[in-house]
Amino acid sequence: METIDKIEKELREGELNNNPHLCAEYVASLCAELSFYLSKQGDIENLRNKNWLEIRTAYKSDTQAEKAWGTTEKGIEHAWYEVRIKRIKALLTGLKTLIRMAESEQHNLQ
């Protein structure tokens, strides 16, 4: 099972609610994943920007050109990275919430 899916499953099932240490490890791992996907997406955007005038000349508007580019192999890959990035950000939010909750509980015990 892929890391993102594993973390998602554990969050959904409440398995991480009392394990802030593992949550912190997952945050570190997901940050690396996020950086990787942002880098890949940036590479694709850089290629698109270099070829934008060529892409744009075949269409009447930027919107049409953007939609057409979105159906290319690189456009589809870019969209796939975008979905991954959103999933990772959502998981990071959940994990950080659990960590903050554990920190708050620890402060209340002192």
What pLDDT is stored for residue 105 in this prediction?
A: 84
Helix-helix angle 73-109:20-50, to 10 degrees: 150
Tell whether 14 is covered by a domain: no
Instruction: In whole angstroms, give the CA distance from residue 86 to residue 15.
Output: 22
pTM of the model as a whole: 0.87
- Per the listing, tokens 């940036």 go with 42
What pLDDT is stored for residue 1 in this prediction?
A: 74
Tell whether 50 is covered by a domain: yes
Question: Which residue range forms the structural domain that includes residue 73?
Answer: 3-8+22-92
Helix-helix angle 3-12:73-109, to 10 degrees: 40
Domain count, the chain: 1
What pLDDT is stored for residue 109 in this prediction?
A: 75
Provide block-wise average pLDDT over 10 residues at a time, the chain (110 residues). 92 94 97 97 96 92 95 97 98 96 83
Q: Which residues contact 92 (CB under 8 A, 6 or more apart)?
A: 27, 30, 31, 34
Handedness of CA 53, 55, 61, 63 (dihedral sign): negative
Tell whether 29 is covered by a domain: yes
What pLDDT is stored for residue 106 in this prediction?
A: 81
- Per the listing, tokens 């953007």 go with 66
